[in-house]
Homo-oligomer: A and B are copies of this chain.
Amino acid sequence: MNGQGEERTAFEIGVVVPKRAVKERDESFDCVEVLVEEFKQAGLTVEKVIGIADEFIKLAAPLETLGRAAAELQIKKPTHIGMDLQFEWDEVEAFVRQPDGSLFSWWERFRCFNHLIYGIVNKRNSAVSLKFDGKEFHWELGESLLKRLEAEGIVKQVFPLHDEIKRKQLLRNWALNWWDFTSQPIDDIYSYFGTKVATYFAFLGMYARWMLFPAALGIMLQLVDLGSSQSMMLPIFFISIILWAVMFFQFWKRKNAALLARWQISYSVVADPGCKVLGLDWSSLQSPVELVKKVGTDRAREKEVFQRAEWFGHMMRFRNDVIIFLTIICLQLPFELAYAHLYEITRPDALKFGLTAVYLLAIQYFTKIGGKISVKLIKHESNESTEYRADSLVYKVFGLYFMQSYIGVFYHILLHRDFKTLRQVLIQRLIVSLVLENLMENSLPYLKYSYRKYGVRHKKRHEKGSSTGKIQFTSRVEKEYLKPSYSASIGEELEDGLFDDFLELALQFGMIMMFACAFPLAFAFAALNNVTEIRADALKLLAMLKRPVPRAAATIGAWLNIFQFLIIMSICTNCVLLVCLYDVEGKWKIEPGLAAILIMEHVLLLIKFGFSRFVPEEPAWVRANRMKNATHAQHMCSKQLLRSISGGEKMILGGGKKTE
């Protein structure tokens, strides 16, 4: 596969403009023509496609154009000596290639594209007047053309395009390759979708593979009758499940580290995402580094400023967490309990059905509101990068879903010791997630796509005035444009569709782990579900949706902590389950005093283990100092080193380039 990435420069970005009714006589004033001309001058390869309802500008970038943009962006890339250095086009040989042989990863290419197309500003002597369908407006000096056109509503959308050859390859080798079971071509996924999506699929694959063990155990427990030792089996099953989960996540962390090493992403960058993405404009908004610059170079003052900024940040985050927590406890908890209680006491099934329908509608609405409130709160936090902010959102929203999904089940266990209903609910939910969600995930985007297609056809027919003849969508780019994008059900600004996919996994994990002792067979359902999930998600990404915008993060982020939290929860809930199961005679009465002490103990243990997340080990000023120094060092040695690497070291270090 070596070098293949270089030979072909695919069209990777699409810009959508409406079809013009009137052609300008003088093309130099037509804003679309000007845009195309500027794109060409920026070194991009441009192809114009006239669709049925819109016009599409497809953009590709030759390697040199990308290289120049990368140098302007001061992108840091790993070199053959293992250090991340600023990219320089002249010293291109010094930099390590991607596993597929191309120089830039998809995330880097996307950043470069963004820099190139939004970096087109008016460099002429005066403002240029542009026309579109008769409307005239001015392109001011130093203004970004694309931003202006977006503001005027002329550029409808800028979106990443699928690369048809690679897409088909992946479709064949990955999405439709059911016989591969849980193994996937992770490197190809990485080079096509970027780190975050590839990490998700690597996690999903490993999760599905590891799930086979508890699934087998669960089936055995269900089928084999051990007679007198049967009662001992449940605690043993519980212990092995917990050990399994603990080991799985520790080994996942190792696997993740190995993936990062394979993709040549340095560990420190992942730990401090804020440092890699400093080039983007949204990250440096409120950072204390700015404040320090104003204050000057006095070190004591600097330390003080940092500490104040750090603690203020903590307080804000703490306040927000408290708000969300109280909202969940005071508003959501009573609501969920009320529903669970009503469901329990309602007798006619029709009424039950109606109640559930009302409930389902209500929670849809509530979750949306919760998501919006969370996004608003997070905006006031001074998180260091979008990935941090996305993590903060994930924690908050997961709190909502956690209550929603499990509180009713807890109600059945704790108050009514009603294991039959519990098992019914579990089976019901697992089957729903197995069949319905996998179906929905793929059919919903398809329905949306069909609906939009219909809308366009309908409009077109209306314009033409005739209703005869089927209108075919001939251009692929227009079809892609009509496909829905990979977006989260809440807060599109911070998270993409990965939120929903991870949420599904986390809720499933919680469901099977927390009630493992009540229904060991659940693991088998989950295993089946996960194996299906891999191909269903792959199909969705490749065939049903627009190509997702790449994201920098290369770990599963906040979700790891959520999974860990669910393990702890499941230790506690399963103990309660075991007490309920074995204490059939109700003799093991727990006195209120004892219960209070036990609850206090558990809360304190939780605080002990949770507190280290609240106060970081390294003060902000120490970290800032370290990063400032590192940046300084890299800046100084960058050029000198690059020359020596690309000159002399190529021969010696060439071996490191080969694809693994």
* Residue A568 interfacial (CB < 8 Å): yes
A632 touches B600 (CB 8 A): no
* Residue A622 interfacial (CB < 8 Å): yes
Q: Mark A279-300, 1 if CB is under 8 A from B, else 0.
A: 0000000000000000001011
Q: How many residues of A contact B (CB 8 A)?
A: 72
* Residue A578 interfacial (CB < 8 Å): yes
Task: Output the least CB separation between A337 and chain B (Å).
Answer: 25
* Residue A224 interfacial (CB < 8 Å): no
**Which of the segments A65-73, A403-411, A532-540, A603-611 contacts the partner chain?**
A603-611
Instruction: List the B side residues contacting A82 at CB < 8 Å.
Output: 625-626, 628-630, 632-633
B567 touches A617 (CB 8 A): no
Question: Which residues of A (261-307) have their CB < 8 Å from a CB of B?
Answer: 261, 266-267, 297, 299-300
Task: Output the least CB separation between A195 and chain B (Å).
Answer: 16
Among residues of B, the one whose C-beta sits closest to the C-beta of A617 is B253
* Residue A571 interfacial (CB < 8 Å): yes
Task: Output the least CB separation between A63 and chain B (Å).
Answer: 25
Q: Mark A548-577, 1 if CB is under 8 A from B, else 0.
A: 000000000000000000011001100100
Question: Which residues of A (351-377) have their CB < 8 Å from a CB of B?
Answer: none
* Residue A229 interfacial (CB < 8 Å): no
Task: Output the least CB separation between A203 and chain B (Å).
Answer: 15
* Residue A26 interfacial (CB < 8 Å): no
Task: Output the least CB separation between A185 and chain B (Å).
Answer: 18
* Residue A227 interfacial (CB < 8 Å): no
* Residue A493 interfacial (CB < 8 Å): no
A578 touches B604 (CB 8 A): no
Among residues of B, the one whose C-beta sits closest to the C-beta of A610 is B246
Most buried by B among A588, A625, A637, A660: A637
Assembly CA distance A425 to B250 (angstroms): 42
Among residues of B, the one whose C-beta sits closest to the C-beta of A627 is B82
Instruction: List the B side residues contacting A618 at CB < 8 Å.
Output: 254, 257, 267
Instruction: List the B side residues contacting A587 at CB < 8 Å.
Output: 591
Q: Mark A612-634, 1 if CB is under 8 A from B, else 0.
A: 10111111011001101110110
A637 touches B626 (CB 8 A): no
Copies in the complex: 2
* Residue A251 interfacial (CB < 8 Å): yes
Instruction: List the B side residues contacting A575 at CB < 8 Å.
Output: 597-598, 600-601
B567 touches A608 (CB 8 A): yes
Q: Which of B83, B299, B608 contacts A571 (CB 8 A)?
A: B608
Assembly CA distance A633 to B80 (angstroms): 9
A615 touches B297 (CB 8 A): no
* Residue A134 interfacial (CB < 8 Å): no
A607 touches B246 (CB 8 A): yes
B641 touches A636 (CB 8 A): yes
* Residue A258 interfacial (CB < 8 Å): yes
* Residue A528 interfacial (CB < 8 Å): no
Among residues of B, the one whose C-beta sits closest to the C-beta of A607 is B246
Q: Which of B260, B571, B628, B637 contacts A605 (CB 8 A)?
A: B571
Assembly CA distance A549 to B630 (angstroms): 32
Assembly CA distance A39 to B222 (angstroms): 80
B243 touches A607 (CB 8 A): yes
Among residues of B, the one whose C-beta sits closest to the C-beta of A568 is B608
Most buried by B among A260, A297, A619: A619
Question: Which residues of A (43-94) have their CB < 8 Å from a CB of B?
Answer: 81-83
B615 touches A251 (CB 8 A): yes
* Residue A424 interfacial (CB < 8 Å): no
Given A82-B630, A609-B609, A579 and B604 contact (CB-CB distance below 8 Å): no
* Residue A220 interfacial (CB < 8 Å): no
* Residue A179 interfacial (CB < 8 Å): no
Given A81-B633, A82-B633, A250-B615, A594 and B579 contact (CB-CB distance below 8 Å): yes
* Residue A593 interfacial (CB < 8 Å): yes
Task: Report the 8 A-B pairs with minimum CB-CB distance, sorted nearest first.
Answer: A82-B629, A83-B633, A253-B617, A575-B601, A637-B637, A261-B622, A257-B618, A81-B633
Interface, chain A (partner B; CB < 8 A):
81-83, 235, 238-239, 242-243, 246-247, 250-251, 253-254, 257-258, 260-261, 266-267, 297, 299-300, 567-568, 571-572, 575, 578-579, 582-583, 587-588, 590-591, 593-594, 597-598, 600-601, 604-605, 607-609, 611-612, 614-619, 621-622, 625-626, 628-630, 632-633, 636-637, 640-641, 644-645, 655, 660
Can you list 29 residue pairs at the A/B interface with Cβ under 8 Å? A81-B629, A81-B636, A82-B633, A83-B630, A235-B600, A239-B604, A242-B607, A242-B608, A246-B611, A253-B617, A254-B616, A254-B617, A254-B618, A258-B619, A258-B622, A261-B625, A261-B626, A266-B626, A267-B622, A267-B626, A300-B660, A571-B605, A578-B597, A579-B594, A583-B591, A588-B591, A636-B644, A637-B637, A637-B640
Given A83-B630, A261-B625, 9 further pairs, Cβ under 8 A = A82-B628, A82-B632, A235-B597, A246-B608, A261-B626, A299-B660, A568-B605, A587-B591, A640-B641
